[in-house]
Chain A
Amino acid sequence: MEKIHRYFNLLLLAFFILIINLTVFSQSKKDIEMLNGIFDQQNQKTDYKTYMRGNSNEFQLLASGLFLFYKSLISSQDGNHCVFNPSCSVYMIQSIKKNGILIGFSYGIDRLMRCNRLTPENYERFETTNLLSDPVWESNEKE
């Protein structure tokens, strides 16, 4: 009887050890799973090819082509000089697409002339990037 009792105690002990180990492992695995992606490099590249779509006329198509050429071959070799977000080239193409070639282009030129840090008080500032916020206006909005 005493032997059975001893075996039973041993069995109970083994069971507890197993349970503790299982919970420890499951918790560690949860930690591993949670911290697995913390050094992931998110793809920060913007796909400018999307601007080639949705052109309503040939002028917009030409502007989109020039924009893509500038972004992929020239701007990619340049530092970050623009003080705004979206940048002047993106503003120009978005403005052309929203307001048509003439008004959009003139808004773009207006933006290029404002691209300096002389009047930062006129814009909201992105805290993380320190860039000034200046989204595209539609012609009827501006009036």
Chain B
Amino acid sequence: MKYIMKPGILWLMIFSLQFHSYSQNLEQTIEFADKQFAQQNYQLAVKEYQRALFFADGKKLDYLYQQIAHAFFINKQFGQALYFYELSYKTTKNDSIKTEIIFNKSQCYLLTGDYKHSEFELMNLKDSLSVYFTDRRKFYLAVSYFGMEDFKKSENYFLSLLPENEKEGRSEVYKLFHTKKNLYRPNPNTAKVLSMILPGSGQMYTGDVNNSLNSLLLTGSFVMLGVVMAQEYSILDAILTAFPWFTRYYKGGYLSAKKIAQNKRAIRRDKTYKKVLEIINESKN
């Protein structure tokens, strides 16, 4: 009996130790990953969370996916972050975490310039949200519509974030959105057409004097070359020598005028957007 009992107890101890060490492994790995995450070693944290996922066996999946997604998000790897947010969304049963994940996904889309998908994500939110989440949703929608150049909707959502008694702030936001110069000028198509009519005039319209003179002189010199060639030799000679160069820089000129206008307009829009955010930020103080 003595010889039978001893190995039995020994086996029991070994078994219990095995279970204990197994659970310790998972907890310890997560703890270590959390520590790395807190110390901003995100790459190592992701590695450890993924190792924990391997042992997790269906436990804490939502937490692990979310932490991996956060780490990727902080490292600006938004594609990977979106993938893990999606997994986390599917595995979690907590409604408020689900809502938070939708906002995280929307952030990823906004930061990669995919405003349409950001809007889609926000549309997935339930209508019965708390005041905090409703305001957050309005803010994200306002930014998404601004990115999609739907300024009317963006303005409405930004205004809805300001309280009714903030008359000064509201009128400022209204003014920012309704001053054409802030959002629609310079018009790239106008710049392009102007440069088509007279090379360099589109660049002048956008305020880029150097490029304007450069374009005018370059295309002008090829016109002059064509005229001289036609007078000295023949029209065919002029067409064969100067015309290809003229068309190349004429086309390049009006396309560059359009590009310059687009850039300048984008800078003005960015300034307007930042001013609106400043007003909203001030209203929170």
Contact = CB atoms under 8 A, between A and B. Distances in A.
A74 B270 CA distance: 30
Chain A at the B interface: SS class: helix
A77 B214 contact: yes
A75 to B, nearest CB: 9
Contacts of A39: 146-147, 266, 269-270, 273
Chain B at the A interface: SS class: helix
A79 B251 contact: yes
Place the interface of chain B in its size category. Answer: 35 or more
A58 interface: no
B30 interface: no
Interface string A73-103: 1101111000000000000000000000000
26 contacts: A24-B131, A29-B281, A29-B284, A31-B139, A32-B139, A32-B277, A34-B111, A35-B110, A35-B111, A35-B277, A38-B110, A38-B111, A38-B113, A38-B147, A39-B147, A39-B266, A41-B263, A41-B266, A74-B218, A76-B214, A77-B211, A77-B214, A77-B253, A77-B256, A78-B252, A79-B248
5 closest residue pairs by CB, A with B: A39-B270, A78-B252, A79-B252, A24-B132, A25-B284
Contacts of B266: 39, 41
A46 interface: no
A27 interface: yes
Contacts of A121: none
Contacts of A36: 274, 277
A35 B273 CA distance: 10
Nearest to A45: B263
A130 interface: no
Interface residues of A, number: 21
A38 B270 CA distance: 8
Interface in B93-138: 107, 110-111, 113, 131-132, 135-136
A73 B218 CA distance: 8
Interface of B: 107, 110-111, 113, 131-132, 135-136, 139-140, 143, 146-147, 211, 214-215, 218-219, 248-249, 251-253, 255-256, 263, 266-267, 269-270, 273-274, 277, 280-281, 284
A31 B136 contact: yes
Contacts of A78: 248-249, 252
A127 interface: no
Contacts, number: 68
A31 B113 CA distance: 16
B139 A77 contact: no
Contacts of A79: 248, 251-252, 255-256
Interface in A18-66: 20, 24-25, 27-29, 31-32, 34-36, 38-41
Given A35-B110, A36-B274, 8 more contacts: A20-B132, A27-B132, A38-B110, A41-B267, A41-B270, A73-B214, A77-B256, A79-B256
A28 B143 contact: no
A78 B244 CA distance: 13
B139 A28 contact: yes
Nearest to A44: B263
Given A38-B147, A76-B211, A28 B107 contact: no
B218 A38 contact: no
Contacts of B135: 24, 28
B196 to A, nearest CB: 14
Given A32-B281, A79-B255, A27 B270 contact: no
Listed residue (A40, A74, A76) with the most chain B CB atoms within 10 angstroms of its CB: A76
A74 B245 CA distance: 11
A79 B248 CA distance: 8
Contacts of A29: 281, 284
B264 to A, nearest CB: 9
B274 A34 contact: no
A72 B243 CA distance: 22
